[in-house]
Chain A
Amino acid sequence: MEVELIDVWHSYDGFTYALKNVNLEFKSSGIHLLIGPNGSGKTTLLKVLSLVIKPSRGRVIVGGMDFWGLNERERSVLRRSVVYVHERPILVRGSVRYNLELGLRLRGAEVNEDLLEHYIARYGLRDVGDRPVSKLSAGQAKLVSIIRGLLLKPQLLALDEPFTFLDSTRASLLAEDLMEVARSDRIVVVATHYMHKGLSSYCKRVVELVNGEVTLHEEVR
């Protein structure tokens, strides 16, 4: 699974650009770190990379194909390889368990109960599994959103500020899980201000964005 952004520009209002002339390749497995100040375009870049939004200009090449030039059916197939975890979790009405299974249900895939229980126990969500998501704390909601992404086992997992709202124990657990994902020959892209120590030492590449432009592009390992 390879994703390449070629001359990508994106504007939400048609006047100002959140991304300007971005050229990046995500070809090799590992953790790719995306840094930059507030409003630098990190979230927009992640959304473009995750095939959630179509860039105003430029091409997104997925597996050698121009994604936005494909028909909806072909796009659906490629989309299954990519998952994006929002900074502010978007949860739907229903229980925690329902939300965790949502991605798999929508794809018509079987829920791996063992894996689901593993994550629920690991992140301490056992007591809240049957509770409505409206009763969760910000950190718990974030964890639901992250686990939902992990359960889908995508080839490219993009996470927007994944450590926000998490306590140090759960942040460490998450860092371990992300390293595990990267070790299993998959791409993890993390946009963050706060970088977990363990994860930063495992990071493969750092990309810095300032005002929508890539200002630093460095292979770390």
Chain B
Amino acid sequence: MSSTAALIAFVSAVALSAILARVSKRRAEMVLGVFEALVGIPTTVIGLFVYMLLYPRGPLGFMGLLYTPTAIIIGQFFVALPMAFTSMFRSFYDLRGNVRELVLSLGCSEKCVNKVLLRELTPVLTSAYLLAFSRAIGELGVALIVGGGIEGYTNVLTTAIALRTSLGDYELAIQIGLILLALTISLALMLKVFGERVLWK
């Protein structure tokens, strides 16, 4: 669920960055400022917002998504998006200008800009995805409010830790915590190594 939410947030952040890279820096900075403010927003607030959207009498209530994995993905998407966007946008904006100028100075067409830019941005994009994933997998508010922590259905690692702790089953809570930690760190290492390899191709 978290990787899906992080992936959707990451792709949306890339698309948003690509669009905003074409507007004036002042306007882009304004949008960036809004997203920077959203980075620190408590996940319970986002959970509440998504709950209001999805609860039976809410605007999207007819879809019957509340307390489903999809609801968690939607919520975690909103949690991860500001993190993904703010961590990539400034590099995206500055590098795009440089790369465009380089490509044109070499007598190549505008079409080549994105190709070079993508390669140049690999480490930044890797970090952006990682941050989005870390934020999504580590959040509790959304998973609890719109997922409900239903065993075997919407019970994610963080809600499982909360549940086990409340039941006094500390040993299992610590084990799940360690799994969460191992998952995050190993994914970070894998993506970093992969990113470095891509650069030297």
CA separation between A81 and B107, bound complex, in Å? 7
Of chain A, the residue at the smallest CB distance from B102 is: A90
CB neighbours of A90 from chain B (8 A): 98-99, 101-102, 105
A94 in contact (CB, < 8 A)? yes
CB neighbours of A80 from chain B (8 A): 107-108
Q: Are A92 and B120 in contact (CB under 8 A)?
A: yes
Of chain B, the residue at the smallest CB distance from A81 is: B107
Q: Chain B binding site: helix, strand, loop or mixed by DSSP?
A: helix
Rounded to whole Å, the gap between the CB of A93 and the closest CB of chain B is 5
Rounded to whole Å, the gap between the CB of A12 and the closest CB of chain B is 12
Q: Are A82 and B107 in contact (CB under 8 A)?
A: yes
Q: Are A154 and B102 in contact (CB under 8 A)?
A: no
A119 in contact (CB, < 8 A)? no
Stretch from B31-39, B85-93, B109-117 contacting the other chain = B109-117
CA separation between A52 and B107, bound complex, in Å? 8
Q: Are A106 and B115 in contact (CB under 8 A)?
A: yes
Which residues, 121 to 160 on A, are CB-close (under 8 Å) to B?
148-149, 152, 154
Name the one of B101, B116, B120, B200 contacting A106, with C-beta atoms under 8 angstroms: B116
Of chain B, the residue at the smallest CB distance from A92 is: B120
CB neighbours of B112 from chain A (8 A): 106
Q: Taking beta carbons and an 8 Å cutoff, which residues of B are in contact with A?
A: 98-99, 101-112, 115-116, 119-120, 122, 199-200
Q: Are A107 and B107 in contact (CB under 8 A)?
A: yes
CA separation between A79 and B108, bound complex, in Å? 6
CB neighbours of B102 from chain A (8 A): 86, 90, 92
* Listed A/B pairs (14) with beta-carbon separation below 8 Å: A50-B105, A72-B109, A76-B110, A79-B108, A81-B107, A82-B107, A86-B101, A92-B119, A103-B108, A106-B103, A106-B108, A106-B116, A149-B106, A154-B107
Of chain B, the residue at the smallest CB distance from A76 is: B109
Q: Are A92 and B107 in contact (CB under 8 A)?
A: no
Of chain B, the residue at the smallest CB distance from A130 is: B200
Q: Are B106 and A93 in contact (CB under 8 A)?
A: no
Of chain B, the residue at the smallest CB distance from A52 is: B104
CB neighbours of B107 from chain A (8 A): 79-83, 103, 107, 152, 154
A214 in contact (CB, < 8 A)? no
